[in-house]
Structure 1
Amino acid sequence: MMFWYDHDVSGWGWFGMSIGMVLFWALIITALVLIFRAASQPHEHTHTPSAPSTPTAPTPQQILDERFARGEIDEEEYRRRSDALRSGPLTKR
């Protein structure tokens, strides 16, 4: 004859099973929360398709620098125009 209650779980066994169940459910709930957060966040694209680059318009200072480098204007005119660019727009009197 078999005695089912002969191998009883002691107090430490119940404590271990209780802690195990708490950890198990904490793991399940944490996994569900992380999955929900990952699904609800907008996706950031780390790879952008390479679009044909649009050339940007050169600034007035860059145009002036290029003209001076090509020799189209002398140093005096370069300095005068460069100072005029730095001082801002002219106002009408």
Structure 2
Amino acid sequence: MMYGYGGGGIWGWIVMGIVMLLFWGGVVALVVVLVRGVRGRSGGYGAPWPGNDDPEHILAQRFARGEIDETEFNARRDALRRRQ
């Protein structure tokens, strides 16, 4: 007598395999969510996200990345300062 080990045959192994895949998939998903949550708040692997939404700061970043040239940077900065 096997004392409650019913010997579910092939179906027992299939169910056990599915449950194991679901368990480890859940563990991996939890780790991914936690890592993305930490990275999302800090802005990546570097320094904490500055959270600066100042229009002049954004404009300066675009100029530094080379998205706009100096003439456009100065014109837009002047327009922002006139508006304020």
**Does TM-score exceed 0.5, indicating one fold?**
no
Task: Report which of the two structures shows the higher radius of gyration computed on alpha carbons.
Answer: 1
TM-score bucket of the superposed structures, by smaller chain: 0.3 to 0.5
More helix by share: 2
Alignment TM-score, normalising by the size of structure 1: 0.39
Q: Which structure would you say has the larger RCO, counting Cα contacts within 8 Å and 6 or more residues apart?
A: 1
